[in-house]
Amino acid sequence: MASDPYRHRRQQMVRKQIEARGVGDPRVLRVMGEVPRHLFVREHLHPQAYGDFALPIECGQTISQPYVVARMTELLDVSSEHSVLEIGTGSGYQTLVLARLGGRVFSLERIAELARRAIERLRPFELDNVKIQAFDGTFGWSDVGPFDRILVTAAAPHVPPPLIDQLKEGGKLVVPEGGRDGQRLILYEKTAEGLGQSTGEAVSFVPLIGRHGWAEVEDG
């Protein structure tokens, strides 16, 4: 972008919120310092875009806290050779972060209006390695899989089985897993011996709605 009045705030965000909490991957820090988060929220929220909190976006969804975006991206360990599947396009902010690091990014968003808006927001960046589609992300995207990396950006009661099936051997998958009111970041790694996992910090995401996630409305 030609003019960026939020550059200083973004650098402060990286130093005080992200690097200070232990995110050390220089590639992630660089990209978080480059991507203009304010362009992915409503205009009246631009002054708050680099704060240490999530923000509301359209359709009752949210854009995640900057630290959480950076931490999940670091855990995913994306390189330019990787094919990445993102479940939950949302505003498109995390999509752009992944696109700056990965080879090809395929992003699924169940809410068609959000998918449309994300495509519009990303258009000025002239990306040639991103494809967004409106679909139930809990099914994955078998037509273009398998994937080296999979990132789930909504809270799942458990990792959707189709996503494990579409993860390559040697691949990594990051998902906030748990109840509707709170989750832990889980890193899955697929090897010839099976599926390993490690548990990270507590987080709070909107629920992953879909066939292999949460129902739209809870019973009762």
What phi, psi does 178 have (nearest 5°)? 155, -150
Residue 103: pLDDT band (50, 70, 90) is confident
pLDDT at 2: 54
Is residue 217 domain-resident? no
pLDDT at 220 over 80: no
pTM of the model: 0.95
- Whether 183 maps to a domain, the answer reads yes
Does residue 65 fall inside a structural domain?
A: yes
Cα of first residue to Cα of last residue in the chain, in angstroms, is 49
- Catalytic (active-site) positions: 64
Domain for residue 213, yes or no?
Answer: no
Model pLDDT for residues 21-59, shown as the tens digit of each residue: 999 999 999 999 999 999 999 999 999 999 999 999 999
Give the number of domains in the chain: 1
Q: Looking at residue 158, which CATH number applies to its domain?
A: 3.40.50.150
| Selected residue with higher pLDDT from 216 and 56 | 56
Over pLDDT 70: what percentage of the chain? 97
Question: Which whole number is the average pLDDT over 55-79?
Answer: 97
Percent of the chain with pLDDT strictly greater than 90:
95
Q: Is residue 39 part of a domain?
A: yes
User: What residue numbers bound the domain in which 62 lies?
Assistant: 7-203
Question: Residue 218 above 70 pLDDT?
Answer: no
Q: Is the pLDDT of residue 102 over 50?
A: yes
Give the confidence band of 1 by pLDDT, cuts at 50, 70, 90.
very low
Mean pLDDT of the chain: 95
In a domain, 218, yes or no: no
**Tens-place pLDDT, residues 161-178:** 999 999 999 999 999 999
Domain assignment of residue 60, yes or no: yes
Residue 116: what pLDDT? 98
pLDDT score at 38: 97
Would 82 be classed as within a structural domain?
Answer: yes
